[in-house]
A and B are shown apart, each in its own frame.
Chain A
Amino acid sequence: MRSSEAQGPLTRRSFLRGMLVLGAGASAALIQACGPQAPAPPAGGGQAPAGAQSGAAVVLTSTPRTVPATQAPAAAPTAAPAAGAAPQPTAAARPVAAAGNRPPLVRQQDPGPPKRGGILETSLGKDPETLEVMQSVNGPLRITSSLVYRRLVQFRGTDYYDIDVEPDMADSWTVAPDGKSMTFKLHQGIKWHNVPPVNGREFTSDDVAWTVDYYKTKSKEYAWLWDWVTKVETPDKYTVVFHMDKPNAEALLNMAVDNNAILPREVFEQYGNFRSKMIGTGPYIWKNWEPGVKVELVKNPDYWEVSELDGKPLPYLDGITGYIMPDYATRLAAYRSGKISGHRWGFQPARNDVEGLVKGMQGQQRWDGVHFLSGGGFVLNISKKPLDDLRVRRAMSLALNRDAIIADVQQGAAQWGGFISASFTKFAWPEDKLKGLEFLKYNPDQARQLVKDAGAEGATVIIDLHPDTTPGTKILVEMAQQMWKAIGLNPTIDPTDVPASYAKRQSGDFMVFGNGVGFSSASIDAATRQLFHSEGQRNYTRNKDAEFDKLAEAQATEMDQEKRKQIVDQIQQKIYDNMWTIPHYDAIDTLINQPWAKNWGFHWQLGWAHSERIWVDK
């Protein structure tokens, strides 16, 4: 071994030694001085987005299909049954009758006469991942399927929130007086897409019967759409009768849901599944899916509906192409350069971005005041300390400065939210009522006191956060964390990804969910019973309240609208009293379209409203 010969303090060897010491010393200093600072206690608590709005009123008899009045200036939408049309184009702003706390939807362009031909280009927030819509909850997939398939009934969609139901492939229906059977008369002359192996044969009641059976026995995720049906009869080619054990308040709602597609048996018989082809009876035929790149649909030349504007068969468009663009910034850039006409799932540009886009571009169409289907709110796991203490939960709610959150996260484009989203316009409590609730007010002093009383000072609260399509969720959770830290808790944020997050919900290995809970259906039943009933499939909060259970079961079978609303009000009161979830805000979003996309409405229940009536005018 060579002996070292120091030649002053700056020889290489001594430098090396010094460098090591410096490195060690620096590390030591850093370790001591800064170590990973524990961030402020994570704000916990998600509100259960309860969708108070259950499906449309149960209609005991069908409403006749009305012709979409695309040119008529719209009156208050609830008054004018402009059937089936995309939100009516009007020249003037059309205030929605203030039902509860529903903000007005403003449409700013009159589409003019329809033009035929052209392709509508849109973006999809992610890859559909499969073609089997009945086995997946993927948003872009459901949107695609709403274009390719049709259902027995559809949402009227006179405006964004209108979930009254009107005929689709069924011309009319009646419900038996005892509520235990429903008879549907199907439209005649509907043909399946002319694609092998179905080859354009006629749609009949047998298809409905087969579909119901398929959903009940083979769809794992969506069996609940038809579970309530005990027997299906097909007395003739165009009549279907559903029998059930007890009345179902949401029967029609279930049938209208976008992915409750009527399926062709030939595809299943040939392939054993629905993964390879999408064949339906809708206005667009599925042509191609390049995974990760795009989905292409083309016009169905044999579509059965006829345009009331020019007398020729619908649809107007030659096709629709959806480009898969998972990156928010890329979508913005694509929209800005006119590459895409609009975005219909997971796009919600942040308020600043919307204003920036609209300011910099010509003729943008915008809809303000839109509430999306998912609710807001932090879901809590009340089986974990300190969340098992009602005082702590109330304190966490009192600690949230909701006005500040709305200002910072949504730039003011939001209102106070209940756990039932304001989008359930028939059931959600108005904002004033929410502001009056004792434990939703902003009172950090009271909150601190409650935390002390409960002995929960310094208690760890972990907030799970997974990457969302909206950038605001992260800001929301960071703010909540700071606010909960200020009242004496010790919250930390735990980033996960989607499957880990849902695995934790199932296993109960979480405390607070930053992202809230999503909804696939405008169903009040899903928002209340599924989420909070002690046996509910999505009882993430893990509460067991027998009284609540009774209420939840009651609303599921109550066919009378008024009575049902009263039960749901009681349910809401109970949830706010117990603070099983902590509500924060309901975003009021703005959706924008390029000027050439005409009559392109959208609907709260995910699908596009009356997609066969869209046209482009470039």
Chain B
Amino acid sequence: MLPVLWGVSLIVFTAIRLVPGDVIMAKMQGEFSAKPEQLERMRAELGLDVPGYVQYFRWIGGVVRGDFGVSMNTFRPVLSEIISRVPITAELAIISLLFAIVIAIPIGVASAVYQDTWIDYAGRLLAMLTLSVPSFVIASALILFPSIWWGYFPPMGLAPLTSRPLENLQQVLPATVALGAILAGQVMRLTRSSVLEVLRSDFVRTARAKGLSGLAVISGHVLRASLIPVVTLIGSDFGRLLGGTVVIETIFAFPGMGLLTLTSIQLRDYTQLQGNVLFIAAVFVLFNLLVDLLYGVLDPRIRYS
């Protein structure tokens, strides 16, 4: 795990420094009435006056000790910024995933059980549809059309989930529908193929031959099998999930990790971006370990490699 994270740190550190412009440029936006010496002072204050490798070692040295530095833009600690934003993105992701699961798994199971009938086709078409439309189109439509038709606009900002949950859920609704729709498509397809596999498998046929009713067969093995792709989705598509939230958070102006990452790139906030990406990568790696563990629980046929 550590070498992967080290690789990530190198990649993001060099990449963002290759992009033209730095945080001074972003802040100043060209209102350059400041004199060059003044700009140099700003750079020195941010630690940008030393060579690249020195900057890297300073930063990575801090990270190893748990100090991710301060944002070059707001001067607030990077880690505290991340920690305050992760719950929002996590909430978005979790609710979207729940929404997707609730819709997609039944459709996926039905699609598999009634394979090649119109139910199957309709289900697959629906799934494909949601996978083919960009999430920002769905999201924009969800904001704009209610505002025209009903004069309805979701309450702005984001109330804290802990203190005002109802308001929070109302604000988050269009976003989670948009994200959830996209996830639903993927979950449905995965569920369908996983269930298909199980249905064809020997032990299901044996169970049938033994005379177990269809429903019993389905609920027992099939449902467990259908959870596997969901776990896979979380594990391997986690990265895509996080990327998806970038767009959604931009449209709805939710202060989550995705938006923070995007604005750090736009503002050339090196420390914040490095911290963000490193954090996300660490979570990603941990999640995959978790997923591997879950497999063992869900499907005893699968052995550890």
Contact = CB atoms under 8 A, between A and B. Distances in A.
Direct contact of A and B (CB under 8 A): yes
Contacts of B39: 220
Given A137-B29, A293-B158, A499-B25, A129 B259 contact: no
A336 B147 contact: yes
A62 B24 CA distance: 38
B3 interface: no
Nearest to B148: A336
Given A220-B42, A498-B266, A502-B25, A334 B30 contact: no
Contact of A506 (B25, B151, B157): B25
Nearest to B260: A292
B253 A537 contact: no
A222 B31 CA distance: 10
Contacts of A333: 143-144, 147, 153
Contacts of A504: 20-21
Contacts of A325: 156, 253
B68 interface: no
A295 B87 CA distance: 21
A220 B255 CA distance: 29
Nearest to B150: A337
A130 B29 contact: no
B250 A337 contact: no
Contacts of A221: 28, 31, 33-34, 38
B109 to A, nearest CB: 31
Contact of B21 (A130, A292, A327, A503): A503
B20 A293 contact: no
Contact of B41 (A129, A220, A338, A497): A220
A338 B151 contact: yes
Contacts of A501: 21, 30
Contacts of A509: 20
Interface string B16-49: 0001111101111111111100110110000000
Contacts of B53: none
Contacts of B140: 329
B268 interface: yes
A224 interface: yes
A502 B143 CA distance: 34
Nearest to A121: B156
A537 B147 CA distance: 46
Name the residue among A222, A496, A498 with the largest chain B CB count within 10 angstroms. Answer: A498
A497 B153 CA distance: 30
B30 A290 contact: no
Interface string A519-537: 1100000100010000001
Contact of B29 (A224, A291, A326, A502): A502
A500 interface: yes
Interface footprint category on B: 35 or more
A31 to B, nearest CB: 26
A130 B70 CA distance: 13
Given A290-B157, A330-B143, A222 B253 contact: no
A220 B152 CA distance: 45
A64 interface: no
B13 interface: no
Contact of B153 (A337, A520, A538): A337
Contacts of B288: none
B255 A337 contact: no
A110 B123 CA distance: 59
A517 interface: yes
Task: Give the interface SS of chain A, mostly helix, strand, loop or mixed.
Answer: loop
A149 B147 CA distance: 36
Interface in A295-348: 323-327, 329-330, 333-334, 336-339
A499 B26 contact: yes
A329 B33 CA distance: 33
B74 A499 contact: no
Contacts of B35: 223, 537
A386 to B, nearest CB: 24
B73 A129 contact: yes
B33 A222 contact: yes
Contact of A327 (B29, B153, B253): B253
B75 interface: yes
Given A326-B253, A502-B28, A339 B21 contact: no
Contacts of B74: 129-130, 275, 291
Nearest to B157: A293
A526 B62 CA distance: 42
A220 B253 contact: no
Contacts of B266: 497-499
B225 interface: no
B30 A291 contact: no
Contacts of A337: 147, 151-153
B156 A537 contact: no
B100 interface: no
Contact of A329 (B21, B32, B143, B254): B143
B152 A503 contact: no
A334 B152 CA distance: 9
Contacts of B147: 333-334, 336-337
Given A499-B25, A499-B268, A502-B28, A339 B153 contact: yes
Contact of A330 (B31, B33, B157, B253): B253
Given A220-B42, A502-B25, A537 B251 contact: no
A496 B263 CA distance: 15
Nearest to A294: B157
B143 A518 contact: no
A136 interface: yes
Contact of B255 (A293, A505, A537): A293
Given A135-B27, A292-B260, A502-B25, 11 more contacts: A221-B31, A224-B33, A325-B156, A329-B140, A329-B144, A330-B253, A337-B151, A499-B20, A505-B30, A509-B20, A518-B29
28 contacts: A129-B73, A130-B74, A130-B75, A137-B29, A275-B74, A292-B254, A292-B259, A294-B157, A323-B156, A323-B157, A326-B250, A329-B140, A329-B143, A334-B147, A334-B156, A336-B148, A498-B25, A499-B266, A499-B267, A500-B21, A504-B21, A506-B25, A517-B30, A518-B31, A537-B33, A537-B34, A537-B35, A538-B32
Interface of A: 127, 129-130, 135-138, 220-224, 273, 275, 290-294, 323-327, 329-330, 333-334, 336-339, 496-506, 509, 517-520, 526, 530, 537-538
Interface of B: 19-23, 25-35, 38-39, 41-42, 73-75, 140, 143-144, 147-148, 151-153, 156-158, 250-255, 259-260, 263, 266-268
